[in-house]
Amino acid sequence: MTSNPSILMPDPEVPAIRMRRHFDAPIDAVFAAHADPAVFGNWIGPDRLTNTIDLWDFRTGGAWRFHQEDVDGNRFEFFGSFHEIRQNELIVQTFTFIGFPDGVALERLVFTPLGADRCQLETMSLTNSFEDRDAMLASGMESGVIEGYRKLDTLLRGLTSG
């Protein structure tokens, strides 16, 4: 079990969701887990879904697409563009759920070192409206974030312990 909770906060002023999470791993390992599709696909999302990375062009101006499936064969597709990448510092991307194509979120992920073997990730997902933001929260996003980052903690322990 992790002692690093994922803290999700709806912004009261703008239609955004802010999230903060600490990791007991070096910043380069946490950033790489977001950059490497083979690693990313192993931790993103809720436990009940499997992930397949369909496209991953991790560079400023690149694009991404992945889908998730549950045991009943239900498929959930997501896609976006990488607008800016700064190694071990920043990822700015768009995020779209194909079932809600008009609901594009602009996401900013900021990586901050907290010493040699710890770091903080702060994200902001800005949506088109408060209704879109609330729908994103109601979709199960919070449990997906919590379960996904718990899986990432396990992966990071394996990557940094040897």
Whole-number Å distance between alpha carbons of 148 and 6: 10
What is the average pLDDT across 124-150?
91
Q: Given this model, what pLDDT does residue 1 score? A: 41
CA distance 29 to 117: 10
Q: Looking at the predicted structure, is the pLDDT value of residue 26 above 60?
A: yes
Q: Residue 27 has what DSSP assignment?
A: H
Give the start-to-end residue ranges of the domains of the chain: 7-160
Q: What's the confidence (pLDDT) of residue 99?
A: 81
Tokens linked to 47: 């436990």
Question: Hey, which of 56-65, 113-122, 136-145 has the most confident mean pLDDT?
Answer: 56-65
**Cβ density class 27-38: b for 16+ within 10 Å, e for less:** bebbbbbbbebe
What is the separation of C-alpha 67 from the centre of its chain, rounded to a whole number of angstroms? Answer: 14
pLDDT range class, residue 126, cuts 50, 70, 90: very high
pLDDT value at position 6?
Answer: 85
Distance CA 43, CA 33 (A): 9
Q: Is 147 helix (H, G, I), strand (E, B) or coil?
A: helix
- Chain-centre distance for alpha carbon 40: 9
Q: Which residues share a beta bridge with 17?
A: 10, 125
pLDDT of residue 143: 87
Global pTM reads 0.92
Q: Answer yes or no: CATH 3.30.530.20 is held by domain 7-160.
A: yes
- Spatial separation of the C-alpha atoms in residues 83 and 93, rounded to whole Å: 5
